[in-house]
Amino acid sequence: MKLIYYRIVSTLWIFLILIFRKIKDDDYNNSLLAKKFMKFNNKFAINRLKKKKIPTEKIAILLPHCLQDDNCLFKITSDISNCKKCGKCKIGEIVKLKEKYDIKVKVATGGTLARLFIKKTRPKFIIAVACERDLITGIYDSFPLNVYGIFNERINGPCYNTNVNVNEIEEVLKKVSRG
């Protein structure tokens, strides 16, 4: 019953966001609405675990390719371990989290690749990082999976040298992972 309730509320949120974006061309209020949806979703994703911890091998992190420094010569979309941890972007810090917690991490170039990764690895919990629009639609598309969403910081504009709070990713991992 709770899943049906969540699905209905999520659908209403999505429609509200879409309608609001069509009516208002106000980035601040659009962003505020998206943040409220994400807060609702993340609370629901954590609560759905019912205080059970998940083995780290059943947790996945999905990242957008725009987190990587645009001038980097090393391709990480095929394997994040190709990162040389130079410090120009947050990918190196996320690789350290991958090694510390022994979790699956995928850098996706789009929604289709992200869905294929989810289908192949079958995680029980996903921490997803993306821009507002992509993250909200991705969470909706991946229902009923538990997806905790974190918006990337678009310091240099959309889809170019973005940033993410790695500490927030680690805090979520500590909350949900066993071990």
Number of structural domains (the chain) is 1
Which amino acid would we find at residue 127?
I
Distance CA 60, CA 122 (A): 9
**pLDDT tens sequence across 113-133:** 888 899 999 999 999 999 888
Distance CA 138, CA 132 (A): 10
Of 151, 122, 158, 126, the closest CA to residue 136 belongs to 151
Mean pLDDT of 145-160: 89
What does the DSSP 8-state code read for residue 152? P
SS3 169: helix
Amino acid 27: pLDDT: 58
175: Cβ contacts below 8 Å, ≥ 6 apart: 46
Domain containing residue 35: 2-178
pTM: 0.85
Mean pLDDT of 140-159: 88
Confidence of residue 17 (pLDDT cuts 50, 70, 90): low
